[in-house]
Structure 1
Amino acid sequence: GFFNIPVYRFIDIEDSEAVMRAIRTTPPDTPIMLILHTPGGLVLAASQIAFALKSHPAKKIVVVPHYAMSGGTLIALAADEIWMDPHAVLGPLDPQLTFKAGFAAPAPSILKVVEEKGVDKVSDETLLFADIAKKSLNQMKEIIMELLEDKYGRESAERIYEELVSGKYTHDYPITVRKAKELGLPVKDEIPAEIYQLMDLYPQALVQRPGIEYIPYPYLPTRPQRRATDSRE
């Protein structure tokens, strides 16, 4: 049977620790199903999960009921199969750099500003961030190539990198099932009904709730029974 691991919030270091522990303790001959419902998260955390998932000897399936953006997409790249709802989406992987006052900008756009204006016409701060942006893009390429090259070949892996990281799209661009298939990703555009039932149990992740749970298969979530006196607006 599968070992199920739902991930349903912003991915942080605590999440990566929990998921890596779950993967590490899963028997090597047991397939893993990782359910992703996340807007993304830290590159470090997402890449740790992706590498751990890739290294598991048995079959790996990532399930995306609604969306797995940014870091969620990075994790999905490590799977043998990606099961998506027909209307679920993945997202671009262009690194986002945070400036002062919490303003964030995509790494490709920072480099484009310097290229178009010239190094003599931008501030030292912009040049500093341009240097970081270049390094972040190189690092993301290294991560993606390590995840994909052995499965897709170098040419296809580089094409996927260019499509997801180069800044062709905004960071919230929805990569649909059709688009993911065109990229050559191993996408299946249907998921089991019990996955939706499981998602009903997680309407919104709260700060105090864990983002990771381990569910050894078989597991059939049941909907909470509402009493006749219950009412909702």
Structure 2
Amino acid sequence: MRFQGRGFFTHEKRICDGWYDLRKLMRMVAEEMMKDKFKNKDDLEKIVNNLVSGKMIHCYPISASEAKSSGLNINTDFPDGVHEFMNLYRSANRSVEYLS
């Protein structure tokens, strides 16, 4: 079967080109949003690479230790006042119910 000069996977190439442009845009937005948070350009580049590499998708939770190792400035301390406030408003029902 001959395709007369047109690539068989032309539509896939266009999709890939679009994905490349989207990743480029995501990189630009991430760099712009975080550029004032990092003094070291290498740290910024490392964070941006982690965020736009495709590893971290919307359902991927970033743990505190992973965020710290990536160079993000996080604080895991939880103020006592928040615990006291949450105790005032306990749920009447369990948050998870198992149906059998």
| Pair in the same fold by TM > 0.5 | yes
Unaligned runs of 5+ in 1: 1-119, 198-219, 227-231
2:90 aligns to what?
223
Question: Match for 2:68 among 173, 176, 181?
Answer: 181
1:133 aligns to what?
19
The count of residues paired between Structure 1 and Structure 2 equals: 84
Q: CA deviation at 1:158?
A: 1.2
Higher Cα radius of gyration: 2
Is 1:193 equivalent to 2:83 in the alignment? yes
Q: Whose RCO is larger (CA < 8 A, sep 6+)?
A: 1
Structure 1 pair 126–150 and aligned structure 2 pair: CA distance change class (3 A): same
Q: CA deviation at 1:134?
A: 0.8
Question: Match for 2:31 among 145, 151, 164?
Answer: 145
Structure 1 or 2: more helix by fraction: 2
Opposite residue 144 of structure 1, the aligned amino acid is A
Opposite residue 72 of structure 2, the aligned amino acid is L
- Sequence identity (%): 24
Is the 1:177–1:189 contact (alpha carbons within 8 Å) kept by the matching residues of 2? yes
Opposite residue 184 of structure 1, the aligned amino acid is G
RMSD: 2.9
Normalised by the size of structure 2, how large is the TM-score?
0.63
SS of match in other structure, 2:72: coil
Is the 1:160–1:183 contact (alpha carbons within 8 Å) kept by the matching residues of 2? yes
Normalised by the size of structure 1, how large is the TM-score?
0.31
Is 1:161 equivalent to 2:51 in the alignment? no
Unaligned runs of 5+ in 2: 1-6
